[in-house]
Amino acid sequence: MKALTLYDTTLRDGAQGEGVSFTLDDKLKIVKKLDEFGFDYIEGGWPGSNPKDEEFFRQASKLELSNSELVAFSSTKRHGLRVEEDKNIEKLIKSGVSTVTIFGKSWDFHVREALEISLDDNLNLIADTIRYLKEAGLRVFYDAEHFFDGYLNNRAYALQTLFAARDAGAEVLILCDTNGGQLPSQLVGILKEVKEQLGPQLGIHTHNDGGMAVANTMVAFEAGIVQIQGTIGGLGERCGNADFCSIIPALKSKYDFDLEGIDYARLTPLYYYVMEIANLIPESQRPYVGKSAFTHKAGMHVSAIQKNPQTYEHVSPELFGNKRRILVSELAGKSNLHFKLKELGFDLSNFGKKEFRHLTDTIKALEHQGYQFEGAEGSLKLLVQREYKDYRPFFKVEDFKIISHNFGDGTSSEAVIKLTVNGEQVHVAAGGDGPVNALDNALRKALNSFYPCINEMKLIDYKVRVLNGNDGTAAKVRVLLESSAGQRVWTTIGVSTNIIQASWKALIDSLEYGLLLFSEEEMKEKPLGR
């Protein structure tokens, strides 16, 4: 066995998180990604708990995994049944896996209050179940549920449950902080005492109710455990589980512990993939993998970063598949702007101090009005194009009008717009579910014959923020539109006291920037300068 194995439970424990519901197809897709990344074990689910997990193991048996071993999960047998009569145990054996994980009670309080059985009966459940599974030819891991709470309440009995599991044939004993309330100093002290009693074949499974799941996992690693359990993005019940997106980078960059078979550069893409499948919004400030994890805004920081990234980055973002981002805002200086313009593809050979100062002042003035270019790089690039290049827009809006219709409980809108495209005037009308949708449909209808690539552009997010709520319905609003075309994603912005006008500005920039991406001229940048 490896000195340390990684056991992913995203598909079982992670699926117990609020708002998470994986379909069978979702689970199969995630298994492939986890295998490609290099996990040793993937806990697929509890085949006795629901038909979906039973079918999952039937389908998963057809997958050709390169790095990972699929594991099935279950509780100890039910009290009052012989182990061979327990259908959950029978389904576990029939799941087709060679390794299973069984969980049992370690806390005497749970044995009496939840199971309502004697302490000796609980020891028999653990031993009988594991012994039966071993006789069936399976490798068994044992999850000692609520172990740390149980140890603090009744040290002798908590240890007895581990001895029962070990003596019955469990290969690894995983100590679980199921309620997630342990502190690192407390947890590691208990773990070291247990290790003296039972030897090194211990694992760790922590929850994050006290915000300590990753910290508790790391001190357990320092104490010499042989298996770490966790989930992608910390998904899990209540406050979640220990997050592999923090644990794996820490092992690599802080402990210089090289995990055999792990493809570190896939970590950030894996995080976003799982969040997408789970239909959850990725956390921008998630360590190592979040969009903001290596993002710099203050001018002093950016100036230092350009000289040496280690000045404000504790690891290289590329190591874990992330990337450095520099923001442009009212806090930005020349360093931010220089970095961002280079990143956006501009040639700065003719761009001097005067131009930098003018552009910085322009951005700060617009941000004072409510614009926020740090989250709208599409609009920022268009601003620079319009200000400093001999830029000819793909279209010019002459006028637009919106008509709304009310009928019963429903509404519909119609937009009429006049455009000039390549010197030709276009006058079109289109309907929509609301005024912004109608404007979008009308714009696309007008531009489609001139620029067929517009059909590849999609609106993927629409956000509205009230900037000064004290003004009530007359408040200024900021609209951010996120659009995509294939793998390219861009964000544009509009600000106005009229939400339709703000949306219209962001929408025009969105389509204009999309057309710019498709334009051959974008690949032939001329030096910036007046």
Residues acting as catalytic residues? 301
DSSP calls for 329-341: STT--HHHHHHHH
Residue 276 to residues 34, 45, 55, 213, 282, Cα–Cα distance (Å): 15, 20, 23, 23, 8
DSSP 8-state class, residue 49: T
Cα torsion at 270, 233, 46, 191 (round to 10°)? 120
Number of other residues whose CB lies within 10 A of the CB of residue 303: 17
Q: Which two tokens stand for residue 156?
A: 């002798």
Largest pairwise CA distance in the chain: 88
DSSP calls for 235-304: --STT-B-BHHHHHHHHHHTS----TT--GGGHHHHHHHHHHHTT-PPPTT-TTTSTTTTEE-SHHHHHH
| Residue ranges in 15-143 assigned as alpha helix (H) | 24-37, 51-60, 87-94, 108-110, 119-135
Q: 3-state class of 204 per DSSP? A: strand
| Residue ranges in 377-524 assigned as alpha helix (H) | 377-388, 435-447, 499-518
Number of other residues whose CB lies within 10 A of the CB of residue 363: 21
Q: Which two tokens stand for residue 57?
A: 């193991």
Contacts of 224 (CB under 8 A, 6+ apart): 195, 200, 202
Asked if 171 and 192 touch (Cβ cutoff 8 Å), the reply is no
Residue 81 to residues 73, 135, 137, 397, Cα–Cα distance (Å): 19, 18, 21, 76
In this structure, which amino acid lies at residue 401? K
| 127 φ/ψ sector (left φ>0, alpha ψ -120 to 50, else beta) | alpha
237 phi and psi angles, rounded to 5 deg: -60, 150
